[in-house]
Chain A
Amino acid sequence: MLTNTNHKSQITNHESRIPNPTVYLQLQFKLLNRRFKDLGFEPWFAYVLLLVTLAVAVHQSFERFSFAPYVFVSLVMMLQLNLGESKRTDFLKTCFTTIKFRQIRLIENFLLALPCLIEFIIYQQWIALALTFTSTIALALVNIKIASQKTIPTPYSKQPFEFAVGFRSTIVVFIAIYCLMGIALFVNNFNLGMFSIGAVFVICMGFYTQPENEFYVWIHHHSAHDFLRQKVIIAVLQVSVLSLPLAILLACCYPSLIEYIGLLLFTAYAFMIAIVLAKYAAYPNEIQLVQVFFLGLSLLLPFLLLLFIPFFYNQAKQRLTPYLK
Chain B
Amino acid sequence: MIQIEKLSKSYGTNDVLKQVSLRFEEGKVYGIVGENGAGKTTFFRCIAELENYQGTITSSKQQLKDHLGLLLTEPFFFSKITGREYIQLLCNARSVSETNIDERNIFDLPLDQYASTYSTGMKKKLAITGLLLQGNSYFILDEPFNGVDIQSNMIITEIILKLKSLNKIVLISSHIFSTLKDTCDEIHLLKNGQFETAVQKGQFHELEAAMKDVSIGNKIDQLGLH
What residues make up the interface of A, taking CB atoms closer than 8 Å to B?
148-149, 151-152, 157-161, 164-165, 168-169, 212-216, 218-221, 322-323, 325
Contacts and interface: CB of A to CB of B under 8 A. Distances in A.
B117 A159 contact: no
Contacts of B204: none
Given A221-B93, A325-B63, A160 B72 contact: no
Nearest to A168: B80
B52 A216 contact: no
A212 B77 CA distance: 10
B80 A159 contact: no
Contacts of A213: 76
A322 B66 CA distance: 14
Interface majority SS (helix, strand, loop, mixed), chain A: loop
Interface residues of B, number: 31
B125 interface: no
Given A151-B114, A325-B49, A219 B86 contact: no
A168 B114 CA distance: 11
Contacts of A152: 80
A158 B88 CA distance: 7
B205 interface: no
Contacts of B84: 157
Contact of A221 (B52, B63, B79, B88): B63
A221 B95 contact: yes
B82 A218 contact: no
A135 B84 CA distance: 36
Contacts of B79: 165, 169
Contacts of A148: 114, 117
A292 to B, nearest CB: 24
B6 to A, nearest CB: 20
Contacts of A218: 48-50, 65, 70
Nearest to A171: B80
Given A160-B81, A160-B92, A216-B93, 19 more contacts: A148-B114, A151-B113, A151-B114, A152-B80, A159-B92, A160-B85, A160-B86, A160-B88, A161-B78, A164-B80, A165-B78, A165-B81, A215-B70, A215-B72, A219-B93, A221-B95, A322-B52, A323-B50, A325-B65
B88 A157 contact: yes
Nearest to B116: A148
Q: 9 tightest CB-CB pairs across the interface, nearest first?
A: A221-B66, A168-B80, A160-B85, A219-B93, A213-B76, A220-B93, A160-B89, A165-B80, A165-B78
A160 B84 CA distance: 10
Contacts of B50: 214, 218, 323
Interface string B56-99: 00000001011000101001101111101110111011110000
A151 B115 CA distance: 10
Which residue, of B66, B84, B134, has the highest number of chain A Cβ atoms within 10 A? B66
A148 B114 CA distance: 8
Interface of B: 48-50, 52, 63, 65-66, 70, 72, 75-76, 78-82, 84-86, 88-90, 92-95, 112-114, 117, 134
A324 to B, nearest CB: 9
A61 B81 CA distance: 35
18 contacts: A157-B85, A157-B88, A158-B88, A160-B89, A168-B80, A169-B79, A212-B78, A214-B50, A216-B76, A216-B89, A216-B93, A218-B50, A218-B65, A219-B70, A219-B93, A220-B94, A221-B66, A325-B65
Contact of B81 (A158, A161, A214, A325): A161
Interface centre among A149, A168, A169 (most CB of B within 10 A): A168
A84 to B, nearest CB: 15
Contacts of B112: 151
A322 B80 CA distance: 28
B7 to A, nearest CB: 17
Given A214-B50, A218-B65, A219-B90, A169 B117 contact: no
B47 to A, nearest CB: 12
Residue of B49, B78, B88, B114 most packed against chain A (CB within 10 A): B78
B82 A161 contact: no
B88 A149 contact: no
A29 to B, nearest CB: 25
A151 B63 CA distance: 37
Contacts of A161: 78, 81, 85, 89
B85 A164 contact: yes
